[in-house]
Amino acid sequence: MNKTRNLLFKIAVFFLILIGVAAFAAPFVSPYNPTDQNTDIRFSGPSSDHLLGTDNFGRDVLSRIIYGSRPVLIVGLVSVSLALLIGTIVGLAAGLGRNMTDNILMLLMDSILSFPTILLSITVVSFLGYGLVQVMLAIGIIFSPVFARLVRAETLSIKTEGYVEASRALGSGTLKIIFKHIIPNLLGKVVVQCSITFATAVVIEASLSFLGLGTQPPEPSWGLMLKDARNYLYQAPWMAIFPGLALAFCVLSFNIIGDTLSERINPRLMK
């Protein structure tokens, strides 16, 4: 059982590295320019020329998937970092602050959480305007409560540990305690949460692009490709299948990595 888990973990890591390399080196690895249109070869199926076929404008699907991984990873990275930053600051302030600070901050975070994710992201994006940057901001804000709650809960439990008390007794100040004792000890759980949030962020980016609120055409994005493919499901199923698979595997990989890491850092499951 453990061996299959390990194998899955390795496959997931490998897959993500593959996507990362593809996104980084897209101009070198993709066979065609993703925005080049060629109406002669519209809707041609997978062949040796076009490994994953072409779409309704005759653009190469493989190249579009490779380039499409860029917004996916950028959105994931930036929005998770943003959520992490906001969430950690709020969580630490709530966990270490007075009762009142804690209550107010958590009320704020809970009110963000109480909205359905997609609905809230659409609202935020329609306020800020369409486009990638706005999407990243929106997702970052939406996921900050997840980190805030996690960091707060961990902080509350870590601050009663003997080593934090001892550090105070040794004369350390609050900042030193936060950086030397609290953050290193909540890092493990936060990393796990990052991986899981990354997966969700990828899905939301795809959904928003699908709805036409995220990446703007002709720039490629997996969500956008799915949107285009929607009208030609019978005629050119490859247009939907391949970006869909890429998205699914990407999300699955992040979740597998998150699960495996959370098992590894949980001392009760260790050894």
- Using CB under 8 A, list all residues that contact other proteins: 99, 161-163, 165-173, 176, 180-181, 184-185, 187, 271
Q: Which is nearer to other proteins, 42 or 180 (CB)?
A: 180
Can you tell me the distance from the alpha carbon of 173 to that of 180, in angstroms, rounded to the nearest whole number? Answer: 11
- Nearest approach in angstroms of CB 67 to other proteins is 40
Taking Cα atoms as reference points, which of 93, 263, 110, 125 lies closest to residue 195?
263
DSSP state of 52: T
Helices and strands per DSSP (H, E), number in the chain:
11, 0
CB of 93 to other proteins, least distance (A): 19
Beta carbon of residue 269, minimum distance to other proteins (angstroms, whole number): 13
To the nearest whole angstrom, how small is the minimum distance from the Cβ of residue 43 to other proteins?
A: 56
Q: In the complex with other proteins, which residue's Cβ is closer, 11 or 183?
A: 183
Nearest Cα residue to 136 out of 56, 184, 208: 208
Q: How many CA atoms lie within 13 A of 172 on its CB side?
A: 16
- Closer to other proteins by CB, 110 or 165: give it: 165
Helices assigned H by DSSP within 32-161: 61-96, 99-113, 117-128, 132-158
**Shortest spacing between CB 198 and other proteins, in angstroms:** 24
- The nearer residue to other proteins, 167 or 255, going by C-beta atoms, is 167
Give the span between the Cα atoms of 3 and 17, in whole angstroms.
21
Give the residue with the Cβ less far from other proteins, 107 or 169: 169
The answer to whether 190 touches 218, Cβ cutoff 8 Å, is: no
Q: Which is nearer to other proteins, 124 or 192 (CB)?
A: 192
Pairwise CA distance, residues 184 & 196, whole Å: 20
Query: For residues 53 and 239, is the Cβ–Cβ distance under 8 A?
Result: yes
Under a CB-based contact definition with an 8 Å cutoff, are residues 63 and 32 in contact? yes
We find the least distance from the C-beta atom of residue 268 to other proteins, in angstroms, to be 14
